[in-house]
Amino acid sequence: MNNEKVIKLPENRCHFCGKESTLLCDKVKGEIRAIDLGGPGVLSNGVVTCDKKICKECATHIDGADYCPDCVEILKKALR
């Protein structure tokens, strides 16, 4: 019998709860001068964001950006 159940996990899973993620953390971690974003040898300028995959439930929406629980903790500490 070839009746194995294949459990397909969503490709984008929340870093925190494992549910399907629809958002990426927008917390800016710093600026970069050059990084191989588009592939080896492709240099560009920009900002580095946390980019952790998060679902709606784990994300905290602040000022038009979505933050992961880790970054929310960092923000809270920074406000103390």
Query: Residues in the site for Zn ion, rule: CB under 5 A?
Result: 14, 16-17, 19, 25, 27, 50, 52, 55, 58, 68, 71
CB of 16 to Zn ion, least distance (A): 5
Paired strand residues for 49: 28
Between 62 and 68, whose beta carbon lies closer to Zn ion?
68
Between 12 and 16, whose beta carbon lies closer to Zn ion?
16
Amino acid identity at 19: K
CB of 48 to Zn ion, least distance (A): 11
